[in-house]
């Protein structure tokens, strides 16, 4: 045994762990300890093996208990998310019947509520000198300033330019422009691709897909970020799973 552990200490960590676990397994499964010398005390080995079995049984029981708690918490969390999403769907459908200005006000309530049930930290709208910010979210260590538009007409170059100016003036911030009506023809292609732009563009179809459960907002944001980072596409497709 001394020689075995001497070699074991010189081995790589994962190998030491594997051998140690196998040794423990063999030890606790062993039933009959036979003394190799008259000085060997078999009852000590038997008591040690019994104690080891008890410890491992307790660890397995504790692990199973924690996994059950985690599993129940995940189920409850999903059920709670879907129930809140159903309530948000009703608000979203009702908002579509409102006049444009009231729709915009309703969007400023729906979006923060969606972030809250999605587990995304969100800041309400705020005003600073000369600027109105529709809010902000934090995802993967980055702050995203939010611009929300639910107007009759599509958003054009001027609105996007103004939003870019807001984002550029903040340290390490990114921007998320949500235009429910979408964007004017050619405006996305006309945006310069490069390091100067730090915004993502989403439309009403993106938001509806999240609200009606086709994917989560985290999944949408991860996809949008990957498309912008890898392909310089500031506007991602609606079917993010294809």
Q: What is the pTM of this model?
A: 0.67
- What whole-number percentage of the chain has pLDDT above 90? 43
- d(Cα 33, Cα 38) in Å, to the nearest integer? 13
Q: Is residue 156 within 8 Å of 183, Cβ to Cβ?
A: yes
Pick the range with the lowest mean pLDDT from 26-30, 83-87, 124-128, 210-214: 26-30
- CA torsion through residues 224, 230, 235, 237, sign: negative
pLDDT at 136: 93
Q: Which long-range contacts (CB under 8 A, 24 or more apart) does 36-43 make?
A: none
Complete domains list, the chain, with CATH = 100-231 (3.40.1350.10)
- d(Cα 203, Cα 177) in Å, to the nearest integer? 8
pLDDT at 131: 82
Tens digits of residue pLDDT in 82-138: 889 999 999 999 999 999 889 999 999 999 999 999 989 999 888 777 788 889 999
Q: Average pLDDT for residues 169-178, to the nearest whole number?
A: 88
- Which phi and psi angles does 185 have, rounded to 5°? -55, 130
How would residue 80 be classed by pLDDT, with cut points 50, 70 and 90?
confident
Question: Residue 157 pLDDT more than 80?
Answer: yes
Q: Please tell me what DSSP assigns to residue 155.
A: B
Instruction: Round the average pLDDT of the chain to a whole number and report it.
Output: 85
């Amino acid at each position: 045994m001394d020689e075995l552990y001497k070699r074991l200490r010189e081995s790589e960590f994962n190998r030491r762990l594997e051998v140690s676990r196998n040794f423990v397994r063999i030890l606790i499964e062993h039933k009959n300890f036979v003394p190799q010398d008259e000085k060997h005390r078999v009852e000590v080995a038997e008591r040690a093996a019994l104690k080891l079995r008890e410890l491992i049984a307790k660890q397995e029981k504790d692990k199973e208990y924690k996994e059950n708690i985690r599993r129940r918490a995940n189920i409850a969390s999903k059920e709670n998310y879907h129930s809140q999403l159903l309530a948000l769907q009703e608000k979203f459908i009702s908002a579509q019947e409102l006049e444009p200005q009231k729709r915009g006000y309703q969007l400023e309530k729906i979006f923060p509520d969606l972030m809250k049930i999605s587990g995304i930290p969100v800041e309400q709208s705020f005003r600073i000198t000369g600027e109105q910010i529709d809010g902000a979210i934090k995802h993967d260590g980055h702050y995203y300033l939010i611009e929300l538009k639910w107007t009759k007409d599509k958003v054009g170059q001027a609105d996007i330019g103004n939003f870019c100016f807001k984002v550029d003036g903040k340290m390490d911030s990114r921007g998320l422009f949500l235009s429910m009506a979408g964007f004017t023809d050619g405006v996305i292609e006309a945006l310069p691709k490069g390091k100067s732009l730090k915004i993502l563009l989403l439309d009403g179809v993106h938001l509806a897909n999240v609200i009606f459960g086709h994917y989560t907002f985290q999944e949408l944001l991860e996809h949008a970020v990957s498309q912008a980072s890898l392909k310089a596409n500031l506007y991602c497709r609606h079917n993010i799973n294809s």
